[in-house]
Amino acid sequence: MQILDGKSCSEQIRREISEQVSGLRAAGRRAPHLAAVLVGDDGASETYVANKVRDCDEIGFESTVVRMRAGTSEEELLGRVAELNADANIDGFIVQLPLPSHIDEHKITLAIDAEKDVDGFGPQSVGLMCLGLPAFVSATPNGVMELLSRNGIETEGKNCVVLGRSNIVGTPMSILLSRNATPGNCTVTIAHSRTRGLQELCARADILIAAIGRPGFVSADMVKSGAVVIDVGTTRVPDASRKSGFRLAGDVDFDRVAPKCSWITPVPGGVGPMTRASLLQNTLKAYHNRMRESDV
Amino acid sequence: MQILDGKSCSEQIRREISEQVSGLRAAGRRAPHLAAVLVGDDGASETYVANKVRDCDEIGFESTVVRMRAGTSEEELLGRVAELNADANIDGFIVQLPLPSHIDEHKITLAIDAEKDVDGFGPQSVGLMCLGLPAFVSATPNGVMELLSRNGIETEGKNCVVLGRSNIVGTPMSILLSRNATPGNCTVTIAHSRTRGLQELCARADILIAAIGRPGFVSADMVKSGAVVIDVGTTRVPDASRKSGFRLAGDVDFDRVAPKCSWITPVPGGVGPMTRASLLQNTLKAYHNRMRESDV
């Protein structure tokens, strides 16, 4: 069994981007600039946004956090999105989800200019990805593809089961792995809460991707011997022994599943850091796209 | 075994649309207007476009065919698309594929205004469909969903295998059937040329959708007893006994497969007429969207 080390893989990606940014600065160009909109004060969202800022600092991107109070109206937020769309100094931005329940997330996602949609959640990004055209691929699926690719994991002709059909992970994951590309060319089955015979289905998978957010859901009897297991789950589980009061738990019962695998991602240190690196890749892509268009 | 009769189902849809159009006219409104751009003189494309015009006539839509010679340049075609985008009298339009090889189909598809993309091939349409938002769903997958829905075929929890991963049939079909909706909630596997163990995989399917364009490819041993079989294939096979010189052949070996099925679509008279009806549904939707926006 080998660990699919997302931490070291993401560090490699960040080094590559950092070198590119140094090159841009040396050539007298400005650095890429990412903005993040944070509405309210959800603890996990605070952490995610703080991490994004830190990542930008480390590799030399500019970053801006736009803080808005929990009571922000949909109109106010749409107004802020419109400003960011129009702001020539911002290459890409994200609106951290989840949003307070009085705001329609779809409406916000649809309002983000496709050229700046570095989270890849908007219809134009999703559609381009589906069509196999250059696109901002949402961060987690993109990170998983990088992890497979950079570790030389063979995917062609493999049976792949994706657990979970969310718009931002399961569904794009299934599309990316089934397309005629490398990595890709898997025979993909997308499973979800209505799937029958789940254990048997998963046990046939050469590559199993768990993205349902239920800690420890994937047990050893659901995993084929020699399988590649990718654990996208990162649920905060209360843990009094930690300073933070919680630990991150994956969807996979790691201790029992790992011995059966050829490769497995740990949680933390697997998909999480890859997701973070993907946002930086998308921001760099947005920057280059804009430079090509405008030669700013 | 019961026949999934696309002909009568599509006639029902056309009657419904026709009644709506009569209502619009009676209220003094103009009728929906579909345009089709036909480049060159490919025989099959001529037929498809002629059928679209006839369908429009029958239900009371306006239609316009824009004919362009085979030597049309990409720029000329893009110019024509821009005119149709801007034409307030056109609710939706399609550019009949395939295009001559010197024209980049993606570039044309990307140029069509998303509001008028009634073929549903553009990234905005595909992305909205993926996200489960109101969208122009491409005609064949939409027609299959209508056929399942209007015949009361249960899909929830069923194992579905989609043969073929094309952008306009296989991939959207897999997304529509896996989403949390009715029809939907299938456990979908998307199979293709790199899939191993295809016979075994297909033989586990409760619902089998064949969309690969290889006449008679699906043999009886690939079909589970009691399965629902949807044959999307319509390949023109030379046939000297026909006036046209060809017959339409499906992907399924109908004579041997049909006795094993609970439901099966014939070719012709199955998915084909449903595809035609879907374009009319999308055109009506485009019309209503535009009316809502502009109150023209």
Contact B126 A125 (CB under 8 A): no
Shared fold status for B30-113 and B139-272: yes
**pLDDT tens column, A232-254:** 999 999 999 999 999 999 999 99
Which class in CATH covers the domain with range A30-113? alpha beta
pLDDT of residue B293: 79
| Residue burial A58-70, b: 16+ Cβ < 10 Å; e: rest | ebbbbbbebebee
Produce one character per residue of B248-276: b if its CB has 16 or more CB atoms within 10 Å, e if not.
bbbbbbbeebbebbbbbbbbebbbbbbbb
Of B295, B205, B223, B292, whose CA–CA distance to B259 is shortest? B223
**How does pLDDT run across B188-207, given as a tens digit for each residue?**
999 999 999 999 999 999 99
Active site residue B285: no
CA distance A188 to chain B (A): 5
- What are the DSSP calls for chain B, one per residue? -EE--HHHHHHHHHHHHHHHHHHHHHTTPPPPEEEEEEES--HHHHHHHHHHHHHHHHHT-EEEEEEE-TT--HHHHHHHHHHHHH-TT-SEEEEPSSPPTTS-HHHHHHHS-GGG-TT--SHHHHHHHHTTSS----HHHHHHHHHHHHTT---TT-EEEEE---TTTHHHHHHHHHSSSSS---EEEEE-TT-SSHHHHHHT-SEEEE-S--TT-B-GGGS-TT-EEEE---EEEE-TTSSSSEEEE-SB-HHHHGGG-SEE--SSSSHHHHHHHHHHHHHHHHHHHHHHHH--
Mean pLDDT for chain A overall: 96
For residue A268, give every residue at least 6 positions away whose Cβ sits within 8 Å of its Cβ, in sequence order, or none. A234, A248
The Cα of A28 is separated from the nearest Cα of chain B by a number of Å equal to 34
pLDDT beyond 50 at A296: no
Interface of A with B (CB under 8 A): 106, 122-128, 130-133, 135, 156-157, 159, 165, 167, 171-172, 174-175, 178-180, 185, 187-192, 194-196, 201
Single pTM value for the model: 0.96
Q: Tens of pLDDT along chain B (296 residues)?
A: 999 999 999 999 999 999 999 999 999 999 999 999 999 999 889 999 999 999 999 999 999 999 999 999 999 999 999 999 999 999 999 999 999 999 999 999 999 999 999 999 999 999 999 999 999 999 999 999 999 999 999 999 999 999 999 999 999 999 999 999 999 999 999 999 999 999 999 999 999 999 999 999 999 999 999 999 999 999 999 999 999 999 999 999 999 999 999 999 999 999 999 999 999 999 999 999 998 877 54
Question: What is residue B295's predicted lDDT score, i.e. its pLDDT?
Answer: 55
Instruction: Give pLDDT, residue B296.
Output: 47
Q: Does the distance separating the beta carbons of B167 and A185 come in below 8 Å?
A: no
Residue A139 has pLDDT above 70, yes or no: yes
Looking at CATH, the fold of the domain delimited by A139-271 is given as Rossmann fold (3.40.50)
ipTM for the whole complex: 0.95
- The predicted model gives A22-30 an average pLDDT of 96
What is the CATH number assigned to the segment(s) B139-272? 3.40.50.720
Which of the four pLDDT bands, split at 50, 70 and 90, describes residue A295?
A: low
Residues of B at the A interface, defined by Cβ within 8 angstroms: 106, 122-128, 130-133, 135, 156-157, 159, 165, 167, 171-172, 174-175, 178-180, 185, 187-192, 194-196, 201
- Calpha distance B6→B215 (Å, rounded): 19
Residue boundaries of the structural domains of chain B: 30-113, 139-272
